[in-house]
Chain A
Amino acid sequence: MKKISTPLTDQMINSLKSGDEILLTGTIYTARDQAHKRLSDTIKKVKKMPVVLGGQIIYYCGPTAAPRGKAIGSCGPTTSSRMDEFTPLLLSKGLRGMIGKGRRSEEVIKAIKKHKAVYFLAYAGCGALISKFIQRVRLIAYKDLGPEAIYRLEVKGLPLIVAIDSRGRSIYN
């Protein structure tokens, strides 16, 4: 299986093809519904972003609380399509990768192709298993959103499937 480290480079993204199974090591940021709404409002109002999106990967995930002695609780992917209305704007601000589950809209696929990004799938409904690949967690923004806050995760060897590659080819087609 191909091993990929963050930050994602153009060359790396180019080499990924829809259907590839990879192991990801490095830094990713969680964000789901409400965080997307806030990030999108911040961009529209031209205010300071809590995360610099350039070159980064967003993981659609709201983890459970970490039990004592663990970095994180259960932390699988949530349904990506709910983020579709915000995604093209985030991609236009430099976001390069997304991790989630399920299909994306035509607009998102077009934006992925335009901005040479990539959309990965994580094993859906396997939050306990995925927690094994997360080494460190840090709260970055929107603490009031609880599990929907933005967390920075350091991951090692996280298994992912390339669902939409930078040429806009989807695993579902």
Chain B
Amino acid sequence: MRIISANQINDAVSDLCIRANIDLRKDVLQALKRAYLKEKNRRAKRILNAIIKNASIAKREKLAICQDTGLPVVFAELGQDVRIKGDLKSAIRKGVESGYKKGHLRNSIVDNPLLRGRPSYRGAVIHLDLVKGNNLKLTVLPKGFGCENKSQVKMFNPTARIEEIKNFIIDVVKTAGADACPPFVVGVGIGGTADYASFLAKKALLRSVRVSKYQSIKVVAKLEQELLREINQLNIGPMGLGGRATALAVNVETYLTHIAGLPVAVNISCHALRSASRVL
């Protein structure tokens, strides 16, 4: 039985919050650079250039990539042979608070959705999973709400055609439009239950944006490629002002489901798709 202390978790989460918010994911930055090279619309090219420049200023000056430093979504994959000395969830929450303060990130969290009140640094959405082994993998995904507000779930009939599913996903992208800061990474969860499909859609954002390589199921890989091609023909473009670069990637995750249903969830990320991981 390996022992991991609450302090180690607290420190790791704190560092991950800062790293995720100021150092744009390498795969995302590379995808933005590829989008810049492919873009023909002049204004779109200027905006993409500003986005790339913004990432380098943020990294160099240790500034948040975006002022919306998000609601931190923390994925904790806990090996079943690990014993936590202390309180895991409270260590994660303390890590978030200290990282957000130390990194000059934004206090965007209100304690109660109806009462609102004074914004603070305290709190996170925590997804805990028990896995084999004796490690603890921590991932912090700070999710901005310009794009989170555009999330949707739809329960299809099990007999639905693939075109119906594609049209739904494309409609979500169209509705997100300029508000959600394109070029997007489109996270899609298919299967499970309504809540589990939503979780998968969020988790899909953690996968590298170099899509097809990481998608082992052929029909899903094809769906990802077709969706990306069709979305990039919508002419939404950076800031919604036209151009090819509407999405950098479409990442689809699937799971078993019931004979009577076909849940589909879409979780859009803005171009500042931020996450960082560490294994303890």
Contacts and interface: CB of A to CB of B under 8 A. Distances in A.
Interface of A: 34, 61-67, 70, 73-76, 78-79, 81, 101-103, 121, 123-129, 131-132, 144-148, 159, 161, 171-172
Interface stretch (B64-72, B76-84, B90-98): B64-72
B101 to A, nearest CB: 8
Chain B residues touching A, range = 35 or more
A66 B116 CA distance: 24
B61 A102 contact: no
Contacts of B271: 125
Interface in B170-200: 177-179, 181
A78 B146 contact: yes
Contacts of B67: 61-64, 73-76, 78, 127, 147
SS class, residues of chain A in contact with chain B: loop
**Complex A-B, nearest 9 residue pairs according to Cβ-Cβ distance, in ascending order:** A74-B64, A128-B58, A102-B179, A126-B54, A129-B54, A127-B67, A74-B67, A128-B63, A102-B178
Given A123-B54, A124-B239, A128-B58, A76 B104 contact: no
Nearest to B149: A79
Contact of B107 (A102, A103, A147, A171): A147
Interface of B: 47, 50-51, 53-55, 57-58, 61-69, 104-108, 116, 118-119, 146, 149, 177-179, 181, 239-241, 270-272
A43 B46 CA distance: 40
A103 B54 contact: no
B239 A146 contact: no
A83 B105 CA distance: 24
Nearest to B57: A128
Given A103-B177, A128-B54, A161-B241, A76 B66 contact: yes
Contacts of A148: 119
Nearest to B58: A128
